[in-house]
Amino acid sequence: MSFQSDNDRPRILQPSGWPLPKGYANGMAADGRIVVTGGVIGWDTAGDLPESFIAQVRQALSNIAAILAEGGARPEHLVRLTWYVIDMDEYLANLKALGRIYRELFGAHYPAMALVQVVRLVEKAARVEIEATAVVPR
């Protein structure tokens, strides 16, 4: 059985009667080749991290887009993002800016997402780390 939609994008799984999530999907189904990233942080090609949370998110998402492209995937192929932040309040206080950055880089495609607060990340100056999974249609 194929779960692909007519346009070869992952299909959003929204159980009947559930409230619609904002900025993410409850689940995704897709057929194709899997492209995954490791935990991606917001450093640039020189290995430098910006100080601000927002700048780190922008760079981390840009880095994910570059990794996806290297694997022949695009942001609309994303089926899952897992965000690790060191300060949940910082994330929540910046929802509008985060939404703008996300849409600017990935459009209006919202995969299944999880958000986890952690004590710290491997890189001490990192404020966010994101893992991505995409499925490229065959």
Structure tokens at 93: 């206080």
As a whole number of angstroms, the distance between CA 72 and CA 134 comes to 10
pLDDT of residue 1 exceeding 90, the answer is: no
pLDDT in tens, 67-114: 999 999 999 999 999 999 999 999 999 999 999 999 999 999 999 999
pLDDT in tens, 18-75: 999 888 888 988 899 999 999 999 999 999 999 999 999 999 999 999 999 999 999 9
Asked if residues 25 and 12 have their Cβ atoms less than 8 Å apart, the reply is yes
Please give the share of the chain, as a percent, with pLDDT higher than 70: 94
Domain 24-136 is in which class?
alpha beta
pTM of structure: 0.89
| Confidence class for position 115, pLDDT limits 50, 70, 90 | very high
DSSP character at residue 77: G
Where are the domains positioned within the chain?
Answer: 24-136
Give the torsion through C-alpha atoms of 88, 74, 44, 41, to 10 deg: 30
